[in-house]
Amino acid sequence: MPSLHLLRLALALACGGLTTLPGRAADVQPTVITSESFDMSSTDTETISVFDGRVVVSGTGLRLTCDHLEVISARVGEKDDTIGTQDRFKSLVAVGNVHIIQGEREATCARAEVLPREDRITLTGNPTVTDHGNGTTATGDPLVLLRRERQVTGKNVKITAPPIRDLGFDPKTPPPTVTVPGLPALK
């Protein structure tokens, strides 16, 4: 079993790509991951942490639940260490009943893949993303969020947004008269 320090580092790296909303002050909280089982292994270049069964990740402005979570981080330091020092979070893949709450945003899907080096999050398996702050919901499969480009792309997308105010004429005001040169005035 890895030392408590290495486990805390693994847990912190697991959530490194998911951040709080810009401009929102949040109380800094430690990242905590619970699951029914855990396995961590290392190669010379990376550390793989696998959490299975009722996985819950909570931290500053974030809560993620799923059935299976795999986190890959770069490994640095002594090659002879059983579990090496972890450096950068490379990827996070959450599978099965994925539910992510981050600030006023909420996402559900069958699979979420977070690639922080590409600033990309891909949601598949009937994903739904809701922004409770602006009242919008997006569905599609897949939904790809590109943070650096401030872009969301998808296929078979449906966006639900708050109602648009009536842009029509005031029913108490008579319609404008339309005139076309050479034709009688239209009302």
**Number of domains within the chain:** 1
Q: Is residue 136 part of a domain?
A: yes
Q: What is the CA radius of gyration of the chain?
A: 24
Q: Is residue 170 part of a domain?
A: no
Q: Is residue 176 part of a domain?
A: no
Q: Is residue 141 part of a domain?
A: yes
Beta-carbon contacts of residue 174 (< 8 Å; ≥ 6 apart): 187
**Cα(97)–Cα(89) distance, rounded to whole angstroms?**
23
**Cα(58)–Cα(15) distance, rounded to whole angstroms?**
9
Range of the domain at 32: 4-160
| H helix intervals, 63-179 | none
Q: Is residue 185 part of a domain?
A: no
Q: Is residue 175 part of a domain?
A: no
Tens digit of each residue's pLDDT, the chain (187 residues): 333 333 333 333 333 334 333 444 558 988 899 999 999 988 888 889 999 999 999 999 899 999 999 999 887 766 666 555 556 779 999 999 999 999 999 999 999 999 988 999 999 999 999 999 999 999 999 999 888 888 889 999 999 999 887 777 777 887 777 777 777 766 5
Q: Is residue 186 part of a domain?
A: no
**Cα(184)–Cα(187) distance, rounded to whole angstroms?**
10
Q: How far is the CA of 109 from the CAs of 26, 64, 138, 143, 165, in angstroms?
A: 26, 11, 12, 10, 32
Q: Is residue 166 part of a domain?
A: no
Residue 74 is part of a domain; what is its CATH number?
2.60.450.10
Model pTM? Answer: 0.72
